[in-house]
Amino acid sequence: MLALVKKEITNFFSGPIGYLVIGVFLLINGLFLWVFQGNYNILDSTFADLAPFFELAPWVLLFLIPAVTMRAFSDEIKLGTLELLVTKPISLKNIVLGKYFGAVLLIIIALIPTLLYVYAISNLGNPAGNFDLGSTIGSYIGLLFLILAYTSIGIFASTLSSNQIVAFIVAVLLCFIFYYGFDAIAQLIPSSSLIEQFGMKNHFDSVARGVLDTRDIIYFLSVTFLFLGFTVTKLKGTK
């Protein structure tokens, strides 16, 4: 499986995809956080806080991760190499995990440069270093869980069509439903706090407060394993 992960990362960076993903992620966040005026601009706020970044990042990743994963299996289906892939001696589960962790590592690599934002916020504080470190660490952990869940959804969506655009749209739609859809439904229905529990946003916000609740961890891991399981089941049908 490690060889597959390495191959996926190499493939990402042998072409423009890897660099484009990192560049687009940093550019969009950088413009909204430091250049464009508005609710997300950190310099316009009255205190040193990275909350705007953690409000914006889930929405950027909602589009960026499907763009990374849309070709994971759709290319194999289009080129007719999927049948050949699933007959190789490596298990189907390891093939899925190899592609999955390759995509996850690429997104994490894109996330690493944003640690410079933490340094900038620390220096903007009065006095320097006066910011909520616990909440910042919690929010980064929340983003990692979000990346795991989004990527599993994107990998599954890539098995549904040989068309990358279709796979992208399906992945964006599913990620949106799981991130904000349940939250939106809960706002429309009085006394529907239970529905909120099915949404990623509710659990992401909980982790972002700096408190790791086992219910939030179980939720993200459950969504991740659920869609990876769907992916394996879907691919088994191609044998």
- Of 48-57, 177-186, 218-227, 230-239, the one with minimum mean pLDDT is 230-239
Residue type, 225: F
Q: Is the pLDDT of residue 192 over 70?
A: no
What is the pLDDT confidence band of residue 125, given thresholds at 50, 70 and 90? Answer: low
The answer for residues whose C-beta is within 8 angstroms of residue 79's C-beta and 6 or more apart is: none
Measured CA to CA, the distance from residue 101 to residue 106 in angstroms comes to: 8
Which residue in 89, 62, 91, 47 sits closest to 201, CA to CA? 62
Q: Is the pLDDT of residue 129 over 70?
A: no
Q: Is the pLDDT of residue 195 over 90?
A: no
Region of residue 71 (phi > 0: left; psi between -120 and 50: alpha; otherwise: beta): alpha
Provide mean pLDDT across the span 12-34: 89
Residue 73 and residue 155 in contact, taking contact as beta carbons nearer than 8 Å: yes
CA of 236: how far to CAs of 84, 194, 217, in Å? Answer: 13, 34, 29
At residue 114, the pLDDT reads: 93
At residue 189, the pLDDT reads: 77
